[in-house]
Amino acid sequence: MHMNYLESAARRKLKASPEWRAFKFEAIEDWYLIEGKIPEGAYASGPRKGQPKWGAGDGQKTIITAEDVDEEMELYERTTGLCRDCFGSGKVMLGWSKEKGKTFRRCPRCGESGKAAK
């Protein structure tokens, strides 16, 4: 399951603005508890340079089920026309190693076309 779909399903369910970002993902049995909010900017220097500043206080929480994620994946394909698994690149990640870094393989869903399955 791709984190982008969890975050966008949570944003849609909460009716949050496009700036809303998830900062906590918790898997509980067969569903997810997602927490997030709109960042208050980004760190300008230091080891967290470029990362969001979350500020004080709790974020908004919602529960995301597998059905919510499936809906989000279908919505992505309908609105973009791109494959839900490879995001239009035609490649999906196969693995990672210290020697080779990320390795990819042909997307089995779209057959490397990058287009949404019909």
Q: Could you write out the DSSP letters of every residue in 37-103?
A: E----B--SSTTTTSBP--SS--EEEEEEHHHHHHHHHHHHHHH-B-TTTTTSSEEEEEEETTTEEE
Q: What is the average pLDDT score of the chain?
A: 94
Lowest-confidence region among 84-88, 92-96, 114-118: 114-118
User: Do 63 and 96 sit in the same domain of this protein?
Assistant: no
Residue 108's domain comprises: 83-118
**How many separate domains does the chain show?**
2
User: Do 11 and 69 sit in the same domain of this protein?
Assistant: yes
Structure tokens at 8: 């966008």
Residues 23-75 have pLDDT tens digits of 999 999 999 999 999 999 999 999 999 999 998 989 999 999 999 999 999 99
pLDDT band at 117 (very low <50, low <70, confident <90, very high): confident
User: Do 87 and 111 sit in the same domain of this protein?
Assistant: yes
The Cα 73–Cα 86 span in angstroms is 11
* Entry pTM: 0.82
User: Do 92 and 56 sit in the same domain of this protein?
Assistant: no
Is 35 in a helix, a strand, or coil? strand
Q: Is 20 left (phi over 0), alpha (psi -120 to 50) or beta?
A: beta
Predicted pLDDT at 2 = 79
The Cα 69–Cα 89 span in angstroms is 20
